[in-house]
Homo-oligomer: A and B are copies of this chain.
Amino acid sequence: MIRIDVTSKHYGESQVLGPIAFEIAKGETVAVLGPSGIGKSTLLRIVAGIDTRFEGTVQRPARMAIVFQEPTLLPWRSVIQNLTLVHPDLSRDAAREMLAKVGIGDKADLFPGQLSLGQQRRLALARAFAGNPDFLIMDEPFVSLDAATAQTMLDLTKTLIRDVGPATLFVTHARNEAEALSARILELRGTPATLGPHLISAKEKP
């Protein structure tokens, strides 16, 4: 069970986040929507425990996986090492298989800098999926991909959620992605940002 209770978050003088509280149950998927610059990434960093300079409390499990808004790979290690170093338990074969799933199976021995940006993003996704996390955090995971590839990634995410059952929190601008993952939708609004009025979540719709 993940419990988020942020009272406020300031950068210097300016307050970015107001009171934001919600919970995510095991196996549940939550999507955060909101315009650019509202504070979605800030919220995710707080939830992930990267940013600790805020008022409030966050309860989270230990086994987490994150997909940042930018790929954030180790440019000096090969593509496959970017999986195996982060997940020491992952065998090389499993790593290769994971790379193949995201469509960069033939790039295992290149450096990340030799991938296209879309391929780097998929590697970051592979890294997040490979660990069978209890809590999956993703910041706009499917942008910069063509429609077909984005669909593949979305399907992969669905499979992971079905098989491993992590709590999932992700940011997106595309409402259809949230719906595809049957996510509860939280919308950030205003300055400082707070959760908008409860929207009909994808789950409740049918």
Chain A contacts to B: CB under 8 angstroms: 11, 33-37, 39-41, 69-70, 103-104, 114-119, 122, 140, 143-149, 173
The quantity of this chain's copies bound in the complex is 2
Question: Given A117-B41, A143-B143: A122 and B36 within 8 A (CB)?
Answer: yes
Rounded to whole angstroms, the CA-CA distance of A180 and B41 in the bound complex is 29
Question: Given A36-B116, A119-B37, A122-B36: A144 and B146 within 8 A (CB)?
Answer: no
Rounded to whole angstroms, the CA-CA distance of A36 and B143 in the bound complex is 11
Cβ contacts under 8 Å, A33 to chain B: 146
Rounded to whole angstroms, the CA-CA distance of A33 and B145 in the bound complex is 11
Cβ contacts under 8 Å, A148 to chain B: 35
CB distance from A67 to the nearest CB of B (A): 13
Task: Report which of B146, B147, B173 forms a contact with A145, defined as CB distance below 8 A.
Answer: B173
Does the CB pair A70–B117 fall under 8 Å?
A: yes
Rounded to whole angstroms, the CA-CA distance of A143 and B119 in the bound complex is 16
Question: Given A70-B70, A70-B117: A36 and B173 within 8 A (CB)?
Answer: no
CB distance from A15 to the nearest CB of B (A): 14
